[in-house]
């Protein structure tokens, strides 16, 4: 069985500069970059950088999906916008976390690895999320 991993980052209220787009493009030969979004997929191997660091440096939201059931959604907030005291009561060990990276706060939600039906057995899993078009993006185009 082959593997499939999908990584997506998006900006929310700003566009990446040309220099930032070039830096993101240099992270992987597989990555597709625009002024507001980056997507990379792998069928063999994986992304060689820490997605949290990419989020903290360039983007506002990150989505990760893998055909074996792993999934992760992360958001970046400016430090002054959200306090640890506001978020910590809602954290769940190894599922919902909140941490500071650089001068930003990162909220992370990770789904369980096991699903009731293996992701690779879902109909058309190889074409997902592309088959769902715009509904799979986070933020605005």
Each domain of the chain, given as residue ranges in start order, spans 5-136
**Which tokens go with 50?**
């820490």
Give the tens place of pLDDT for each residue, 68-118.
888 999 999 887 787 778 878 878 877 888 887 777 788 888 876 544 444
What pLDDT does residue 103 have?
A: 74
């Amino acid at each position: 069985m082959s593997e499939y991993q999908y990584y997506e980052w998006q900006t929310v209220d700003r566009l990446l500069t040309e220099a930032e787009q070039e830096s993101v493009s240099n992270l992987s030969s597989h990555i597709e970059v625009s002024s507001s979004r980056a997507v990379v997929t792998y069928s063999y191997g994986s992304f060689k950088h820490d997605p949290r660091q990419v989020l903290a440096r360039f983007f506002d939201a990150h989505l990760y999906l893998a055909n074996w059931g792993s999934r992760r959604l992360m958001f970046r907030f400016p430090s002054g916008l959200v306090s640890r005291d506001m978020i910590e009561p809602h954290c769940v060990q190894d599922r919902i976390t909140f941490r500071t990276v650089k001068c930003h706060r990162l909220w992370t939600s990770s789904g369980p690895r096991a699903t009731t039906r293996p992701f690779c057995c879902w109909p058309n899993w190889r074409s997902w999320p592309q088959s769902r078009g715009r509904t799979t993006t986070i933020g605005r185009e």
